[in-house]
Structure 1
Amino acid sequence: MSESDPEKKVADRYLKRETLGEGTYGVVYKAIDTETGQTLAIKKIRLGKQKEGVNFTALREIKLLKELKHPNIIELIDAFPHKGNLHLVFEFMETDLEAIIRDRNIFLSQADIKSYIQMTLKGLAFCHKKWVLHR
């Protein structure tokens, strides 16, 4: 791979930091955009040895997320292949709703609960408006 390789240039833009989580399809890292200084999350999807190319599930996720621009839906900022893996670059969220609910030290008032439910339902309604069913 040469220095003029566009795949390497895109990958070099993002500096991976600590691992945030690991799932069935890959690993999620906290990262920094070296051009903007913005903190991001990068989901590295293992592609494996597929005859047809990129995993259909990954392609579907990219296509849907590019169409779903809404304040209550995580934003897909970039997507690129690198070293046989697919990298999805998302806006960074400090925590998720499940972590907030499970944290016994956080008291959620009725107003907090209503607000979280409203944000979730607005995001879900937008998905449905775009004919995307979320499971």
Structure 2
Amino acid sequence: MKKGNLAGIAEAAVSIFLTVGALTIFKVCEGGVNGKYMTCHWAQNAVVLAGIVLSVQSLLRILIPNKGVKTGLSLSIFLLAAAVIFIPNTAINLCMMETMRCHTVFKPAVIVTSSVLTVISGLDAVIGLIRTGKE
């Protein structure tokens, strides 16, 4: 395995964890009110969708050999992961009660996972920009 793929593999692992985790480990509140979904359900859907896009980008970053394209994908992953941080309770409101699962489990897990992905992809993008500038 090439050394250049380590960051891509880490990005893919964290992206897949974000996607699968949002559906299983740190999913939002169960049920709904009067047969309607609670707002946290839509926040979860947005995180899952973003996680799928991040996973695809990460896998492409591993498979594509061009260093410039890898750097561009890392920059794209960085921007989307940074945006995902703001989905729970900023872009999409969560439940009213702070003791609900969406506030106590989902929100912190999404913020931490997205922050880790932001750091990894940001460092990868900067290193990629430096390396492509030297060529």
Q: TM-score, normalised by structure 2?
A: 0.30
| Structure with the larger strand share | 1
Q: TM-score, normalised by structure 1?
A: 0.30
| Structure with the larger helix share | 2
